[in-house]
Homo-oligomer: A and B are copies of this chain.
Amino acid sequence: MERDFPSKGQAIPDIVIRRLPIYRRGLRYLLRQGHATISSNDLAREIGVSAAQIRRDLSYFGRFGKQGKGYDVPTLIEAIQQILNIDRRWDVALAGFGHLGQAIADYRGFEASSFHIAAIFDRSRELIGARSAHGVKVDPESEIARIVGELGIRMGIVAVPVDQAQSVTDELLAGGVQAILNYAPVTLRVPDGVWVREIDPISLMQSMTYYLDDVDAPDRIKSPDSIADVAGS
């Protein structure tokens, strides 16, 4: 399926790009529930954004819905996958094979998606040579740049302790990585052209306790827009 998507050079807000995976996720859920077509209102209800927002976001990439008929769910899923470049496999380097790294390596969600953990690194001698559930061998951290470069890996996951996060990031970048999912609770310094997304459960929890202060005035707690929590609109 070829579509005439706008050039990636065109200015599409990052927040729109961040919402597309949520749209896809909701659409796939609806498809599993048996919905082959869906209105923007029903999709909006499923994923917790307004129908107007969905239409506006998708309009950056062309016309998807049919007047009065709504969206064809499989077609829209496929279009979003093309836009996001996930209609192909992406090899990923995982730095850190402690408890967190092992959980990430074994997480079925990555293998079930377009991401394949193709290299794993750790500095611990006991872990080097170990294998993930998927059979990938753990190599020493000192080999990151060489192996990542040889395998042509462009995405990395940082799952090392805070004080090692910047140095493994630098190694990943030296190997050619351009996008990093960072589990270490520290802001990584990266040059222009490199993308970082963070996973920090503690910070997310702390941004909710703010609203739980008013025990005696629950009516003052305001409701979130669900998608805002995911994609920070």
Contact indicator per residue, chain A 206-225, by CB within 8 Å of chain B (1) or not (0): 11111111100111111110
B106 touching A193, Cβ below 8 Å: no
Q: Categorize the interface residue count of chain A.
A: 35 or more
A39 within 8 A of B: no
A20 within 8 A of B: yes
Bound Cα distance A184, B229 (Å): 14
- Using a CB-CB cutoff of 8 Å, which residues 114-142 of chain A contact chain B? 114-115
Give the distance to chain B from A231, nearest Cβ to Cβ, in Å: 6
Bound Cα distance A185, B232 (Å): 16
Give the distance to chain B from A75, nearest Cβ to Cβ, in Å: 18
Q: Which residues of B contact A109 (CB under 8 A)?
A: 185, 201-202
Bound Cα distance A211, B186 (Å): 23
Residue in B15, B192, B202 whose CB lies within 8 Å of A21: B202
Bound Cα distance A206, B112 (Å): 13
Given contacts A181-B201, A187-B47, A203-B25, contact A224 B208 (CB under 8 A): no
Q: A208: nearest residue on chain B (CB-CB)?
A: B179
- Using a CB-CB cutoff of 8 Å, which residues 19-38 of chain A contact chain B? 20-22, 24-26, 29
B85 touching A209, Cβ below 8 Å: yes
A167 within 8 A of B: no
A209 touching B155, Cβ below 8 Å: yes
Bound Cα distance A103, B103 (Å): 7
A99 within 8 A of B: yes
B21 touching A212, Cβ below 8 Å: no
5 contacting pairs across A/B (C-beta < 8 A):
A20-B207, A84-B210, A85-B213, A110-B205, A181-B201
